Structure 1
Amino acid sequence: MQQEINKALQILKEGGLILYPTDTVWGIGCDATNPEAVNKVFQLKQRRGSKTLICLVADDRMLKKYIKKIPEVAYNIIEVSEEPITIIYDDAQNLAPNLVAEDNTIAIRIPNDDFCFQLLRRFNGAIVSTSANISGMPTPKSFKEISQEVLKGVDYVVNLHREKICNKPSSMLKLSSNGVVKIIRP
């Protein structure tokens, strides 16, 4: 696994795109602070820049780098959630401007996956994680379902967990800084 992490780190630091297994589905990833890399993801997915992307962080400490004020309830939600959960936070900071929504929100997940955790810790920063498909196409449930277009469009494909089958993306909720919680995707 360390060899795969090292190769993925090299690509991320060079502003490239990786295809990698996450705690949910296979994801297209890049450095979440690099606007050029984020733009490459939008181009590969053939997605308008107005549709935002999710990013992953390793832990609460890293989350604090990218959100100005984390609502206290976020820690409770993360702690009690048994399934992967992505939270949309207000007041994003220190991320590529083209990754942040017009209302200054950002969707972030702390994955429960050893490879992702180690990659994020070694990278010491947020990594984009968007499903490995062209916009409008179904989300691949396994590595075998990923299109050639996506496979050829990334700079590196992580050689781990290719047999893993995934049933669904993470749940998603919006957590406003005033404490209002809205379920986006159950």
Structure 2
Amino acid sequence: MSTVKIDDVIRILDKGGLVIYPTETMYGIGADATNSAAIKKLNRYKKRPAGKPYSIATSGKTMAEGYVFINKVAANIYKSLLPGPVTVVSHGKHNVAPGVESEAGTLGIRIPDHKLVIDIIKKFGRPITSTSANASYKKRPYKISDVLDNISESQKKLIDLIIDSGELPHKDPSTVVDTTCDDLTVLRQGEILFNNKNEILSRNEEETKNFAKELWQKYEIHFGRRAFVFALTGEMGSGKTVFTKGLAKAVGVTDLITSPTFNLQISYKLQTGHQSLVHIDTWRMSSPSEIYDLDFGENISECSIIVIEWADKIVDEIKKYTEEAVVIWVQLTFGKRENERLIRWMVAK
């Protein structure tokens, strides 16, 4: 483990450098959230497409108020759960570097439950980025080797300082909650579990497919009057395409369902009516706005059934259509046993 002087960390952050640091969940990588050059450098390190925002870490609610508008819903979370592994999304005040806020102007705030990180941010006087130290969609970093063994030499050269605290406890990432509306919306369940009765444990692929069928039957009364968007999130191999296969069978698609990773979208005509099941994979999208190149708005207007894998990459685009479509968020995470998947779902309002 390394011994690091806070003044050394501050000097690097001031110069637009990148610092890997420990948190109560996993290792993060920090850059000055107000420095455009630092954010561009972070984008190169993360190999992150344009349009995907960053959360920021602040030393407390007072600092956060300089960067976001905190409503009553958010204030309750700050009071009861922070510091801690929760990211609170609010409307931003546009006081961070371009690319940190979402394209819709929202911003996630983290107040880590880690004294060293809080001390660094307090002395720095500005927020730093709060994003995992791994490159996008790589292994969760619980120890420094998890980071270094899974990035290229060019990425390693972008790191200016590593604060090594040894292997961290293997915890889930922070829970992400959207407080921009009157009701709290859980965008990602993490270490802190908000009350959610909408969850099941699938023990194999067949059960995941059957759940997709049951979920469709629960809401199909709206079919034909509104579009459906099944917004799927989860790590590689968690079962997003398996869920889609079950849904496709439930709505009458007889074609073979394959992942549209390379061509982004595949459409399947339903046997009844003029609607389609549209299967989208955002993995290779460089910007959320690319969803409109796939006739997303037109498919909504035609009351299609749209399944989006890696939907967390285009959250703000999906939120624009909650009036026209039944938007169902489905999160798939790995269970304790090899074939188990914990599936949580929520209907957006």
Give me the TM-score of the superposition, normalised by structure 1: 0.90
Aligned to 2:59: 58
Quote the Cα distance in structure 2 between the aligned partners of 1:48 and 1:92: 23
Check conservation: 2:39, 2:99, Cα contact below 8 A.
yes
Question: Hey, what does 1:181 align to over in structure 2?
Answer: 184
Written as runs of structure 1 = structure 2, the 5 A alignment for 1:1-186 is: 3-67=4-68, 69-81=69-81, 83-148=84-149, 149=151, 150-159=155-164, 161-176=165-180, 178-186=181-189
**Helix, strand or coil at the partner of 1:84:** strand
Aligned equivalents of 2:138, 2:106: Cα separation in 1: 25
Equivalent residues of 2:4, 2:163 under 8 A apart: no
Structure 2: how far apart are the matches of 1:17 and 1:37? 7
Question: Are the counterparts in 1 of residues 175 and 188 from structure 2 also a CA contact under 8 Å?
Answer: yes
| TM-score normalized by the length of structure 2 | 0.50
Contact 2:110 2:130 in 1 (8 A): no
Query: RCO (CA 8 Å, sep 6+): is it higher in 1 or 2?
Result: 1
Q: Point out the more displaced range, 106-115 or 133-142.
A: 133-142
Q: Retained in 2: the 8 A contact 1:142–1:165?
A: no
Whole-Å separation in 2 of the counterparts to 1:166 and 1:26: 11
Deviates more, 1:58-67 or 1:91-100: 91-100
Which consecutive residues of structure 1, in runs of 5 or more, have no partner in the other structure?
A: none
Q: Shift of the alpha carbon at 1:151?
A: 4.3
SS of equivalent residue, structure 1 residue 89: strand
Query: Shift of the alpha carbon at 1:115?
Result: 0.5
Structure 1 CA distance, aligned partners of 2:126 and 2:64?
A: 9
**One-letter identity of the residue aligned with 2:141:** P
Aligned residues: 183
Looking at structure 1, the residues matched to 167 and 161 of structure 2 have their Cα atoms a distance apart, in angstroms, of 18
Residue 97 of structure 1 aligns to a residue in which SS?
Answer: coil
Task: State the superposition RMSD in angstroms.
Answer: 1.9
Report the structure number with the largest CA radius of gyration: 2
Distance in 2 between residues matched to 1:143 and 1:3, nearest whole Å = 15
The DSSP-based 3-state class of the residue aligned with 1:65 is: coil
Do the aligned partners of 1:143 and 1:164 also contact (CA within 8 Å) in 2? no
How far did residue 81 of structure 1 move? 2.4
2:73–2:183: 8 Å Cα contact kept in structure 1?
Answer: no
Give percent identity, aligned residues only: 30
- Deviation by residue 1:20-72 (Cα, 9 ceiling, x = unmatched): 112221011100000110111111111102111111000111011101x2102
| Structure with the largest fraction of strand | 2
1:2: how far off? 8.6
Question: Cα distance 1:36–1:23, how it changes in 2: closer, same or farther (>3 A)?
Answer: same
Q: For structure 2, which runs of at least 5 residues remain unmatched after alignment?
A: 190-349
Contact persistence 2:88–2:178 (CA under 8 A): yes
Are the counterparts in 2 of residues 53 and 107 from structure 1 also a CA contact under 8 Å? yes
Aligned to 1:78, what secondary structure does the other structure show?
helix
Q: Residue in 1 aligned with 2:262? A: none
Deviations 1:129-151 (A, max 9, x none): 21111112122222231125354
List structure 1 runs of 4+ shifted beyond 4 angstroms.
none
Residue 92 (structure 1) shift: 3.1
Deviation of the 1:80 alpha carbon: 2.1
